[in-house]
Structure 1
Amino acid sequence: MIEWFTAVQVIVALLAGLICLVLGFIGKQPNDLTLGSIVLVELLLIAQLVVTIVAPTVGNEPSGSLAEFYIYLISALLLPVAGAFWALIERSRWSTVVLGVVGLAVAVMLYRMGQIWFVQGTP
């Protein structure tokens, strides 16, 4: 895992979540901006998956549990897909709010993944 890349991902996920929440609460249906922001979050998560597969082979090993890290990562990878699927099927303001919650949840999960990789010591 790369520390600056994780920070960028957290910021992008937070911004995507806040944009979607604001647009959802003012009554906007899912659109290119809201779905595009969540797709960007998903693309960054896929890049994170590649980085974390390669990182241990080049000496960048996690300080915490690798299994716990991957559980967070796989869960985070599924959230934007599920949220976007919902937004495409039910085109209402609440779908946009759900996309916002997905963005914020992914930001929290990325922050926790950073803790597992960089801070948390193995017991």
Structure 2
Amino acid sequence: MTDALTAAVGVAALVLAAWCGHAFFRDQPTKDWHFIGMAVVTLLVLVQLVIGFVLLGRGEEPRDGTAIFVAYLFGAAAAVPAAGFLSLSERTRWGSATVAAGAVVLAVLEVRLFDIWGGGSGG
């Protein structure tokens, strides 16, 4: 797994969390711009998903096992879209809080993916 991409996804997730957290504190629901941000973060995660499967297809193996790595890849890919869909049903400040929480979850999943792959030893 590329460390740079994992870091980029983690940072993008934290930026999204801060942005939606700011909306929460300003008593605002998620807006169109937030959904564009969610789309950008999701696109990065989907690129990561594809690269992860390409690396697995080339015969590379994560340090902590393929099954757990694939499970975390799919969990990471689902975190922000799931929070986004939930925020659509909660058109109050709590929708923004939901997206912020989902983005923090994604950042934590990225740290775990980094560890599962090999923690910096896998380029």
TM-score (norm 2): 0.88
Please report how far the alpha carbon of residue 61 of structure 1 lies from its aligned counterpart in structure 2 after TM superposition.
2.9
Gaps of 5+ in 2: none
Q: How does 1:17-96 map to 2 (within 5 A)?
A: 17-58=17-58, 60-96=60-96
Q: CA deviation at 1:56?
A: 2.9
- Tell me the equivalent position of 1:6: 6
- Aligned-pair CA distance for 1:87: 1.6
Q: What amino acid sits opposite 1:9 in the alignment?
A: V
Counterpart amino acid of residue 24 in structure 1:
F
**Do the aligned residues in 2 keep the contact of 1:18 with 1:104 (CA within 8 Å)?**
no
Q: Deviations over 1:95-115 (max 9, x none)?
A: 001100111110010111011
Q: Contact (CA 8 Å) 1:63, 1:117: kept in 2 or not?
A: yes
Structure 2 Cα separation of the partners of residues 79 and 7 of structure 1: 16
CA distance in 2 between counterparts of 1:60 and 1:9 reads 21
Distance 2:52 2:23 in 1: 33
- Count of residues in Structure 1 that have an aligned counterpart in Structure 2: 120
Match of 2:112 in 1: 112
Contact 1:64 1:119 in 2 (8 A): no
Which whole-Å deviations, capped at 9, do the CAs of 1:72-101 have from their partners, x for residues lacking one? 111222222221111222211100011001
Amino acid at match of 2:17: G
**RMSD between aligned residues:** 1.6
Consecutive unaligned residues in structure 1, runs of 5 or more? none
Normalized against structure 1, the TM-score is what?
0.88
SS in 1 for 2:116: helix
